[in-house]
Amino acid sequence: MTKVRVAGAGMTEFGSLPERTSRDLFAEAGRAAVEDAGVAREDVEGVYYGNFMGELSEHQGHQGPLAAEALGVQAPATRYESACASSGVALRQAVRDVRNGEADVLVAGGTERMTNLSTAESTEALAIAADELYEVRAGVTFPGAYAMMATAYFEQFGGTREDLAHVAVKNHANAVGNDRAQYQREITVAEALDSPAVADPLHLYDACPVTDGASAVVLVSEDYAETNDLDAGVAITGTGQGGDRMALQDRENVATSPAATEAAEEAYADAGVTPDDVDVAEVHDCFTIAEVLALESLGFFEQGEGVTAARDGKTTRDGDLPVNLSGGLKAKGHPVGATGTSQVAELTKLLRGDHVNSEHVPDARVGVAHNAGGTVASAVVHVLEVAE
């Protein structure tokens, strides 16, 4: 079984780009990743592409071949859909295929075009990642669903809106220097607390924005990297995936995310590491409470302790475990089909030392990416390490 290296990473600007199509966005991100990798385009053997709502936002299905065409390659291409974890799932399959010797060079990535829809339309489109029969028909949207999860967490483990505000403040501060981020400005705890309510107890600054964007990474086998003298100093050493019941009312406890725990445990075992070995993490903070749940599911904090991690400075850029140095979904943005591979692209640059925030983790050797779909009915976790 061969080892998998990340040879290149590329992203578009994340933000409101309603005039740009998904294929246009992916062309930019994918070609940037191939150029960063230094691989010949004709060597690409497959494109693994994540997209969630293309049928609704662009009336376009079967996007895999369009992604390959945009990239300028002649190779089989498949679209993967797992809500907000779409490109994370695509990446996981690409990792496994390189490992198993199915290919030496693969591109994994994703795109989402969302801001060409109205707020009501994008909310409705995103809601199809919930249980249509038992949640959507009852009026559940994702702000409401995560508000229920936050309320359950507060009731079981404690925590306050101010604790969540510190998560938002941290991630906005991290995005300031990230030229790919949607919101490159700081906010204060007071601003977060005073922002309009979205779904009690969550307010505007507890939620990620609606975003357009694309991301891609080039994966290569270790043999290919050595033969072609590539500078591919980051390896994906662990991958895991977990699942849960779709509807919140069918779960034993909505204040936890067992799918992410399952994915993390598999990824750690695969890589031969533990949570204590992790130096930096990018987690799926679609809402501030989602970051809290992720921190606990990944084993970084015990249940009930993740909620104060940002307030206590443990997950800030100068803390023991910097989390979401990219700005996270909260400030970098969340083009849902692109998010999973964007996290890996950011971590790759952080571990290589060429990210704007690499100075905060100069000795980092191990990073973890956590990508979730819906209310974490799907979860994918990847472990990245500086290659020996």
d(CA 182, CA 197): 21
Residues with pLDDT less than 70, the chain: none
Report pLDDT for 336: 98
Catalytic residue among 84, 166, 203, 208: 84
Report pLDDT for 99: 97
Q: Kind and range of the H or E element at 92?
A: helix 86-99
Catalytic residue among 203, 334, 355, 370: 334
Report pLDDT for 196: 97
Domains of the chain: 4-118+209-386 (3.40.47.10)
The pTM for the full model equals 0.97
Does residue 84 carry a catalytic annotation? yes
Nearby residues of 167 by Cβ (< 8 Å), 6 or more positions away = 285, 288, 291, 292, 310, 330
Report pLDDT for 2: 82
One DSSP character per residue, 219-286 reads EEEHHHHHHTT----EEEEEEEEEE--SSGGGSS-TTS-HHHHHHHHHHHHHHT--GGG--EEE---S
Report pLDDT for 388: 76
Does residue 203 carry a catalytic annotation? no
